């Protein structure tokens, strides 16, 4: 796919720095740009998984750049499923996934970005954040854990943090998996109805669901305040899992192609080496 075509495709989901964000106006069931229906899109996704593995191999071999994928979503938004599908073909030693739970006492004794920075990818790696530093402008806002001046100041702190990562060679890509309240209900019910999935459900999930509108606004503000040219946000309609996986792969591949990792030059004289 040519660069112009790639940009046109990714701009469907990309939030520009000056954009306002109204999640209610973005259809979570959209399949805009997909190569076809469910089966056709799944078929088109398979070679993208292979292509991502090749690009990751080049990134690992070059070992001069890194890529950080930040995944955020409402509960049952599909973060785990996205990671399983999108990275199903890559070399595990070159990908690190970090999931951020409630902060520990040690983490609370530091600034909110301290625990995050320890998990950023080294050169050659792809890092994946399943939830992230954005929880510190989401849950703390909705549940009024810290005063508004504290969480509001974090937008700028996050922008500076991500800018610093970029200067150090890490490309930051942030994806919000946008699901509808109805789809969340269906996924919660599926977890309750399936014994081997029931462990994923907690009664606390319902308390968060009751604040759906507050979280949607918190997400919209965070995305609008922190989407930059160097660390953009993408809002991916995620009610249809097959579309979600295809879209995230397109975003990652478009980013890696722009980074253009190269295999290192071979050691001089190897063409004359004969193995006995």
- Residue 135 inside a domain? The answer is yes
Highest-confidence range of 7-11, 69-73, 198-202, by mean pLDDT? 69-73
- Residue 271 inside a domain? The answer is no
Give mean pLDDT, residues 184-211: 94
Give mean pLDDT, residues 40-58: 97
Q: Is the pLDDT of residue 1 over 50?
A: no
Place of tokens 């997400």: 219
The predicted pLDDT at position 258 comes to 95
Terminal CA-CA length for the chain: 43
* Angle formed by the axes of helices 241-259 and 79-86, nearest 10°: 60
- Residue 84 inside a domain? The answer is yes
Query: Using CB atoms within 10 A of its CB, is residue 147 exposed (0-12), middle (13-18) or buried (19+)?
Result: exposed
Cα 241–Cα 246–Cα 250 angle in degrees, nearest 5? 145
pTM (two decimals): 0.95
- Residue 64 inside a domain? The answer is yes
DSSP letter, residue 141: H
d(CA 183, CA 239): 6
- Residue 133 inside a domain? The answer is yes
Per the structure, the count of domains in the chain is 1
Over the stretch 137-154, which tens digit does the pLDDT of each residue have? 999 999 999 999 999 999
- Residue 266 inside a domain? The answer is no
Give mean pLDDT, residues 226-251: 98
**Which range is least confidently modeled, 111-115, 187-191, 196-200?**
196-200
CATH number of the domain that residue 7 is part of: 3.40.50.300
- Residue 272 inside a domain? The answer is no
- Residue 275 inside a domain? The answer is no
Query: What is the average pLDDT value for the chain, to the nearest integer?
Result: 95
Domain span at residue 129 reads 3-261
């Amino acid at each position: 796919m040519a660069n112009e075509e790639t940009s046109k495709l990714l701009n469907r989901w990309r939030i520009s720095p000056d954009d306002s964000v109204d999640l209610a106006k973005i259809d979570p069931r959209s399949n805009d740009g997909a190569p076809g229906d469910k089966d056709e899109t799944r078929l088109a996704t398979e070679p993208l998984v292979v292509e991502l593995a090749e690009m990751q191999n080049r990134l690992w071999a070059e070992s001069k750049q890194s890529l950080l994928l930040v995944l955020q979503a409402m509960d049952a938004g599909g973060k785990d499923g996205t990671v399983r599908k999108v990275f199903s073909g890559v070399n595990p030693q070159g990908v690190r996934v970090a999931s951020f739970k409630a902060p520990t006492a040690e983490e609370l004794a530091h600034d909110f970005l301290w625990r995050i920075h320890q998990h950023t990818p080294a050169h050659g790696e792809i890092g994946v954040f399943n939830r992230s530093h954005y929880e510190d402008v989401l849950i703390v806002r909705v549940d009024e854990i810290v005063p508004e001046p504290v969480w509001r100041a974090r937008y700028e702190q996050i922008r500076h943090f991500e800018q610093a990562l970029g200067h150090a060679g890490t490309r930051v890509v942030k994806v919000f998996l946008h699901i509808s309240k109805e789809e969340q209900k269906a996924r919660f019910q599926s977890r309750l109805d399936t014994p081997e999935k029931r462990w994923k459900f907690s009664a606390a999930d319902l308390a968060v669901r009751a604040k759906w509108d507050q979280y949607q606004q918190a997400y919209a503000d965070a995305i609008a305040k922190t989407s930059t040219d160097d660390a953009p946000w993408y809002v991916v309609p995620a009610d249809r899992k097959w579309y979600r996986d295809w879209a995230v792969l397109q975003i990652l591949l478009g980013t890696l192609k722009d980074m253009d990792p190269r295999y290192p030059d071979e050691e001089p004289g190897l063409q004359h080496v004969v193995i006995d």
